[in-house]
Amino acid sequence: MNTGNCRCPQFCFFIEHTEAPGATICHSSPTAFYPKILSLNKYYREIFMNRIIQLTLCSTLVAGVHASDIEEVVVTAAREVSTIELAETLEITPDSAALLRKAPGANVNSNGPLSGIPQYRGMYGSRINVTVDGSTLSSGGPNWMDPPLHYAPAAQLESLSIYRGIAPVSAGQETIGGAITAKTWSGEFSDSAQFSSQGRIRAGTQSVNEGLLTSVAVVASNKTHRIKVAGLTESGDDAQFDRGDILHTEYERDRVDLGYGYQRGAHSWQFDLAHNETGDSGNPALPMDIEYIDADLASLSYDFKGEGWNVRSKIYHSEIDHGMSNFHLRQLMMGMNPRINTATGDSNGIKVAIDWEDNGGTWLAGLDGHHETHDSDITDRDKIGFFAQNFSGAEREVWGVFLERNQQLNSRWRSELGLRYNRVTMDSDSVSFSNPGNMMAAMMQMRAMAFNNSNLKTNDNNIDWVAKLYYEADQATSLYAGIARKTRSASYQERYLWMSMEATAGLADGKTYLGNLDLDAEVAHELEIGIDILQDDFSFSFRSFYKQVEDYIQGTTDDIPHMGMPAMPVADLKFNNVDAQLYGFDVEAHYQLDNHWSLNGIVNFVRGKRDDINDNLYRIAPLNSTVGITYQSNRWAATLESVLTNKQDQQSTTNDEKETAGHGLVNMKGYWQVSEKIRLGGGIDNLLDKQYSDHLGGYNRVANIDIDRGDRLPGYGRNVFARIDYQW
């Protein structure tokens, strides 16, 4: 093996003393390790990443390294981040959130094919901080038909990472439920003044919904400039299951991206533009379907690498226009009015972080600001005079400052300490309602007036802190313990939903909700312990957590105004502060049987319940496991996978949640590396065409002879997929 001019002796030692195929280059800069390791097979990469923990400080101190690169390398090493490398996936799923099931503790609340909402250890939605290339995106739709990962199509990603357990305070502003970072593939600067090109072309198809995917990304770069052009088009028909079609799960999305990077000396700049057009796409678990989502995204970042200190900064902007209806895809339900909801969501943000090092470790200090504004208007196809302002100029602004310290206490002990302060300011414009000739109109107008006359502006001052300790017991074993306080202020839906609606950021429980101007911020205290074992042919990583949440925001039947009689409340639920706790564990293990055969497994368990009353939390993933056996040869590999999901009978009574039966699925997939540049991949999901329902998949809201309304939506039937990747 070529160990190049590696400056870190331990690293060279590792490379020289393993037979890791593909580990041919050791760069002088530790930042360059990361891309190179991708060429290793997964097993060796795991070992590699774990070994890096031993040279954490070594790599930190050897060269001026990017804070985030270090963080990524180091935390992966410590099993603090689960990273899914998209180049290694074989699926053609349009929904990046669905890929999260590969990471321990993670799952997805699925409301439609492009609308997956990440769930991590029982928390989801705005409780999880999602960034795409460092930008925080606020969904445009009040029901999160476009969750933040909607703007990170799987085919364009380089990696999707989720912080394991307690996220560092630097990972995002509000990380009470965790933090996810999606990274788009952007190519590399080269070493010479000559321009050369790199590219990734991917085409795929699948049988379950006649899904098609074409994605092209081309980069021209030299050592100073890097220009990227990328395009994506994907579509699918309604998906099938054992007994028929799942109406409406069709989708279509097109996207173009332009990027320009410039680096000179210690300075680097990156400017990115993206335009996303999502067309007719179903959301069978929600009351409406997507007609369009037009989004423009822009960001500019500037980084400086100094001697022993670095600066990273970014500004970003996004504008989202979204239209949906309850009649253009699905059949209008009897007795319902044909309604059109148009919504806009704009967000702006800034992030600045400085890191520097001293003898004992690194400091990271930062400032971030994020501002979002939302409008949502409802009109009627057949009635010109009908107009309801669901949200009007609903604003949410968060300013945060943080300080983080990573310290090597001695050869065995390492710590991470973090402190963050967030100030959350929210406000809303006045709302209006008109429905000429309708009996209820006067009452609605009175409620709009009462809302407008309320004090709509609120402030929260939130403090987060994190303390983690790692102990390396021996060469192969390390122990971990962490405690944290994390906060989250109410979303604009939870606060400003003045008219009773299902606009709940995708809860999909079929309930109408009212917002609450008096909501306090959620405060979670969490304790987490873990053990990581890493031997040459065996790795095992276990985490157990307990989280107590004060003022958890949950819909309850308290304080709902009624229409003259208590038996006639104006909404099913109103957002209120309650108390909750979540606890559980997740495990990831790998066993290399010999040079070719390996076993991989994940087990996830979480329990979520109310503390103030005897009830469970809503939409919590049941106990589940994924076990795969892989045969890996030089040019091809094949995996057979079993996914077992337990029943969920600890469901929320408050949300009238239905229990779900357990099920088992068998999947298989594989690839053939035809040449250095061409790879063919494919597989069959749900090989046995089993009929099942995912507890996180919601209930059918669409007229469909194959599925009753109100029944749990079935999972997709047998799906044969194939994909070709061309990379240079």
Q: Taking each helix axis from N to C terminus, what angle separates 67-77 and 42-52, rounded to the nearest 10 degrees?
A: 110
The nearest distance, CB 213 to Cu ion, in angstroms, is 23
Output the DSSP codes for 296-361: EEEEEEEEEE-SSEEEEEEEEEEEEEEEEESSSSSPPPTT---EEEEEEEEEEEEEEEEEEEETTE
The nearest distance, CB 322 to Cu ion, in angstroms, is 5
- The residue range among 77-85, 319-327, 632-640, 702-710 that interacts with Cu ion, by the rule CB under 5 A, is 319-327
For residues 374 and 669, which CB has a smaller minimum distance to Cu ion in the complex? Answer: 374
- The residue range among 8-16, 141-149, 388-396, 566-574 that interacts with Cu ion, by the rule CB under 5 A, is 141-149
For residues 144 and 552, which CB has a smaller minimum distance to Cu ion in the complex? Answer: 144
Q: How big is the CA angle at 11 (ends 6 and 14), to the nearest 5 degrees? A: 130
The nearest distance, CB 250 to Cu ion, in angstroms, is 15
The nearest distance, CB 143 to Cu ion, in angstroms, is 5
For residues 83 and 143, which CB has a smaller minimum distance to Cu ion in the complex? Answer: 143
- The residue range among 15-23, 136-144, 175-183, 589-597 that interacts with Cu ion, by the rule CB under 5 A, is 136-144
Query: What are the structure tokens assigned to 234, written together?
Result: 């994907």
| Sole residue written with tokens 């600067």 | 189
Nearest Cα neighbor of 226 from 193, 192, 191, 189 is 189
For residues 324 and 507, which CB has a smaller minimum distance to Cu ion in the complex? Answer: 324
- The residue range among 139-147, 209-217, 477-485, 626-634 that interacts with Cu ion, by the rule CB under 5 A, is 139-147
Do the Cβ atoms of 92 and 721 come closer than 8 Å? Answer: yes
Residues that bind Cu ion (rule: CB under 5 A) add up to a total of 3
Task: Give the torsion through C-alpha atoms of 493, 495, 497, 503, to 10 deg.
Answer: 20
Contacts of 309 (CB under 8 A, 6+ apart): 64, 354, 355, 356, 357
Cα–Cα distance for residue pair 103/362, rounded to 1 Å:
28
- The residue range among 137-145, 331-339, 347-355, 422-430 that interacts with Cu ion, by the rule CB under 5 A, is 137-145
Residues 320-349 that bind Cu ion (CB under 5 A): 324
Residue window 389-408: x/- pattern of binding to Cu ion, with contact defined by CB under 5 A: --------------------
Cα–Cα distance for residue pair 582/606, rounded to 1 Å:
7
The nearest distance, CB 708 to Cu ion, in angstroms, is 24
| Sole residue written with tokens 């001026």 | 64
Contacts of 476 (CB under 8 A, 6+ apart): 533, 534, 535
Among 8, 37, 67, 145, binds Cu ion (CB under 5 A): 145
- The residue range among 142-150, 555-563, 620-628, 684-692 that interacts with Cu ion, by the rule CB under 5 A, is 142-150
- The residue range among 50-58, 144-152, 246-254, 424-432 that interacts with Cu ion, by the rule CB under 5 A, is 144-152
Query: What are the structure tokens assigned to 407, written together?
Result: 């310290």
Strand order of the sheet with strand 135-136? 81-85, 157-163, 179-184, 129-132, 135-136
Query: What are the structure tokens assigned to 268, written together?
Result: 């680097």
For residues 141 and 366, which CB has a smaller minimum distance to Cu ion in the complex? Answer: 141
For residues 15 and 507, which CB has a smaller minimum distance to Cu ion in the complex? Answer: 507
Do the Cβ atoms of 500 and 570 come closer than 8 Å? Answer: yes
Residue 293 lies near Cu ion (rule: CB under 5 A):
no
The nearest distance, CB 588 to Cu ion, in angstroms, is 35
Residue window 619-648: x/- pattern of binding to Cu ion, with contact defined by CB under 5 A: ------------------------------
- The residue range among 229-237, 316-324, 368-376, 546-554 that interacts with Cu ion, by the rule CB under 5 A, is 316-324
Residue window 94-133: x/- pattern of binding to Cu ion, with contact defined by CB under 5 A: ----------------------------------------
Please give the backbone phi and psi of residue 189, each rounded to the nearest 5 degrees, phi first: -70, 150
| Sole residue written with tokens 């070992």 | 47
For residues 99 and 324, which CB has a smaller minimum distance to Cu ion in the complex? Answer: 324
For residues 40 and 145, which CB has a smaller minimum distance to Cu ion in the complex? Answer: 145
Contacts 24+ apart (CB under 8 A), 15-20: 18/44, 18/47, 18/536, 20/44, 20/47, 20/48
CA 66 to each of CA 69, 316, 723: distance values in angstroms, whole numbers, following the listed order: 5, 20, 34
For residues 321 and 397, which CB has a smaller minimum distance to Cu ion in the complex? Answer: 321
Among 105, 112, 125, 141, binds Cu ion (CB under 5 A): 141
Cα–Cα distance for residue pair 123/522, rounded to 1 Å:
12
For residues 392 and 632, which CB has a smaller minimum distance to Cu ion in the complex? Answer: 392
Do the Cβ atoms of 279 and 253 come closer than 8 Å? Answer: yes
For residues 162 and 324, which CB has a smaller minimum distance to Cu ion in the complex? Answer: 324
* Residue number of the CB atom closest to Cu ion: 141
285 three-state secondary structure = coil
For residues 293 and 620, which CB has a smaller minimum distance to Cu ion in the complex? Answer: 293
Task: List interacting residues with Cu ion (CB under 5 A).
Answer: 141, 145, 324
